[in-house]
Structure 1
């Protein structure tokens, strides 16, 4: 074989080796389908964490509102109990004085289920 032939064969081998190395490095640098799925999962996970935090914050606000409403209802219950006792006391006093208390106004429909009308 002549020198030119050796040069041609060696340059062909080098070319094939270079092409193989380029294909292999391109394949290694490419993102795999698994990488894309992992990235999609992390995006979805981040969104879910934000939604969970928003839901937890909303739940805390609702619990505060519920606590305030429960405190108001308890106060209203105490006030109603006081007023009932006061009306009964006044009715008893009026009857003891030999008079009859004036007739009561009709009970509103919405209040009927809450009033035990024994006065």
Structure 2
């Protein structure tokens, strides 16, 4: 084998080894490590949690609005009941002042007893 052929073979071998090392190193650099996967999994879970928290926050806001409307309705119903009780008392007083006796009231229904504490 001549000197030139030997240099060609050696340089070809060196280029082959360098190419294999570069391929290996490039593949290793492109491969995702276990730490990368864990970080990405954490990011996915964190994003899902953020979305769920936002959804729950919106649901809580909706429920608070519903609760506020119900509170306003209950307050209005309480005022209406108080007005009607006072009106019935006034009419009863007027009837008695006229020397008459108002008709007997029907018994208070069981579900209403919790809310009506006044005898008319």
Provide TM-score, normalisation by structure 1: 0.89
For 2:69 and 2:95, the matched residues in 1 are separated by: 39
- Give the count of matched residue pairs: 119
**Structure 2 spans left out of the alignment, 5+ residues:** none
Q: How does 1:1-119 map to 2 (within 5 A)?
A: 2-3=2-3, 4-119=5-120
2:43 counterpart SS class: helix
Cα distance in 2 between the residues matched to 1:35 and 1:105: 77
Displacement of 1:2 in angstroms is 4.3
Partner Cα separation in structure 1 for residue 22 and residue 84 of structure 2: 94
Q: How far does residue 29 in structure 1 lie from its aligned partner after superposition?
A: 1.1
> Following TM superposition, where does structure 1 have runs of at least 4 consecutive aligned residues deviating by more than 4 angstroms?
none
Tell me: higher relative CO, structure 1 or 2? Use CA pairs within 8 A at least 6 residues apart: 2
Q: Deviations over 1:18-76 (max 9, x none)?
A: 21121111101111122222222222222112111111111111111111111111111
Other structure's SS at 2:77 match: helix
